Amino acid sequence: MEFSTDMMYEELGISKEVIKFGTEIEKNLKERFEKIDLVAEYNQMKVIKAMQKNKLSDVHFGATTGYGYNDLGRDTLEAVYADVFHAEAALVRPQITCGTHALNVALAGNLRPGDELLSPVGKPYDTMDEIIGIRPSNGSLAEYGISYRQVDLLPDGSFDYENIKKAINDKTKLVTIQRSKGYASRPTLSVARIGELISFIKGIKPDVICMVDNCYGEFVETIEPTDVGADLCVGSLIKNPGGGLAPIGGYIVGKEEYVTNAAYRLTSPGLGKEVGATLGINQTLFQGFFLAPTVVSGALKGAIFAANVYEKLGFNVIPNGTESRHDIIQAIEFGKPEGVIEFCKGIQAAAPVDSYVTPEPWAMPGYDSDVIMAAGAFVQGSSIELSADGPIKPPYTVFFQGGLTWYHAKLGIMMSLEKIVHANLAHLK
Ligand SMILES: *Cc1c(COP(=O)(O)O)cnc(C)c1O
């Protein structure tokens, strides 16, 4: 008996035309995919090396309860993270509920009344608005007397060095640099560019804390922001570094002093890193981190495949089909709400979990417009798993990311195309 992958795609609901279109695109991506595999190979070794150095052993997979004093697994996990990021210390905890929480802990732990926070790369991710107080919110940094300043990127995406210099003043205590574009249409920053920005800022004020929101960037390159001078680097375990296995968590790595300050905020002054039971999830967090380089490579292939598919159909895609990649997010501008909605329906229909439900736009906490989200994930809301979301506002851009395997990402994109073509929103040439 012969196995036909095309027939299997057809059984899943992909038409012959879409399969043919996708296959042609994939053929031209061989060389790029090989380069991605090389980055994954390097990062895999980096993670194994850190695990060996810290003598990872099955004793570290045991559970603690209660206060969680002397949780060897937790302390070793944090040492492994610190080594992979070439940082002094790490806080990697299931008590950090998500990326937004990790960012809040890092900021609130290190800023004091009268300090100023600066974003030199434009408006940060939507959920940061209420942390900072850009949109008034109970408990925001603004309520604690911490002011905020922002310098936008120049129209061509470059840093506005002149105005950044002017914005740095006596009060500037912490600079937040978001690596990924998030829900914006600006380019994602490479680690090298983040390094240039940090050098510039330290040249003006050496003691300012440079923090990078590293969400979606981990393991996309062979270096991380802490390799180019970042004092703090923050992210979510239900994105890249959790490898799809972490059921919850966030991390903060960097200079010991600043990580410790964050720990005092997460738990309590005086307690810091010493408490925090892990309830048996250490093994999963280690294993997810171990798999993360490979998982990220699959997600990257999916993003590049999607860019090339939709670029060929005439849509504006960010990054474009040939650009170098610094995060796993792919933005596609549809120009109308229907495009965003049909795309998300396709991603949902290709999922292993909840494939039978239809996503709809909805008001989400932390966002200022309705948002549609497609995710049939093993871990709720996990966006290292194949997922797509888009705020329902012009220019009607869908943000697509993840895929625990390249094959699943590919199926998702072909299914999205199937829905888009069926709704007459694009025509295969
Ligand atoms: C996802 C994300 C966040 C917030 O993380 P959540 O886990 O969704 O709270 C912050 N910044 C960026 C750039 C992100 O991509």
Give 371 Cα–ligand 1 centroid separation in angstroms: 15
Contact 292, 241 (CB under 8 A): yes
Residue 301: name the closest of 309, 290, 289, 312 by CA: 309
Q: What is the pLDDT along the chain (429 residues), one digit of tens a residue?
A: 567 999 999 999 999 999 999 999 999 999 999 999 999 999 999 999 999 999 999 999 999 999 999 999 999 999 999 999 999 999 999 999 999 999 999 999 999 999 999 999 999 998 999 999 999 999 999 999 999 999 999 999 999 999 999 999 999 999 999 999 877 778 889 999 999 999 999 999 999 999 999 999 999 999 999 999 999 999 999 999 999 999 999 999 999 999 999 999 999 999 999 999 999 999 999 999 999 999 999 999 999 999 999 999 999 999 999 999 999 999 999 999 999 999 999 999 999 999 999 999 999 876 778 999 998 999 999 999 999 999 899 999 999 999 999 999 999 999 999 999 999 999 997
Phi-psi region of 265 (alpha: psi -120 to 50; beta: other; left: phi over 0): alpha
The closest residue, in CA terms, to atom 12 on ligand 1 is: 215
Give 318 Cα–ligand 1 centroid separation in angstroms: 18
DSSP 239: S
Give 98 Cα–ligand 1 centroid separation in angstroms: 8
Give 385 Cα–ligand 1 centroid separation in angstroms: 14
Ligand 1 within 6 A of CB of 178: yes
Regarding beta strands 362-363 and 370-375, do their DSSP bridges make them parallel or antiparallel, or are they unpaired? Answer: antiparallel
Q: Which ligand 1 atom sits closest to the C-alpha of 101?
A: 9
**Phi, psi (deg, nearest 5) at residue 2:** -95, 140
Ligand 1 within 6 A of CB of 104: no
Q: Which ligand 1 atom sits closest to the C-alpha of 128?
A: 10
Probe residue for ligand 1, chosen from 93, 96, 100 as the CB with the greatest number of ligand atoms within 8 Å: 100
Q: Which ligand 1 atom sits closest to the C-alpha of 250?
A: 7
Token readout for 369 is 């417009």
Longest dimension (CA), the chain: 74
In a 3-state reduction of DSSP, which class is residue 254?
A: strand
Query: 388 has which bridge partners?
Result: 374, 400
Task: Sort 293 into a burial class: Cβ within 10 Å, 0-12 / 13-18 / 19+.
Answer: buried
DSSP 372: E
Q: Which ligand 1 atom sits closest to the C-alpha of 329?
A: 15
Q: Which ligand 1 atom sits closest to the C-alpha of 216?
A: 15
d(CA 61, CA 51): 13
Token readout for 235 is 């992210």
Ligand 1 within 6 A of CB of 213: yes
d(CA 85, CA 310): 35
d(CA 194, CA 179): 8
Give 99 Cα–ligand 1 centroid separation in angstroms: 5
Residue 410: name the closest of 380, 427, 386, 390 by CA: 386
Query: 212 has which bridge partners?
Result: 177, 233
pTM for this model (two decimals)? 0.95
Probe residue for ligand 1, chosen from 131, 185, 220, 239 as the CB with the greatest number of ligand atoms within 8 Å: 239
Token readout for 177 is 């640099």
**Phi, psi (deg, nearest 5) at residue 375:** -165, 120
Regarding beta strands 209-213 and 172-178, do their DSSP bridges make them parallel or antiparallel, or are they unpaired? Answer: parallel
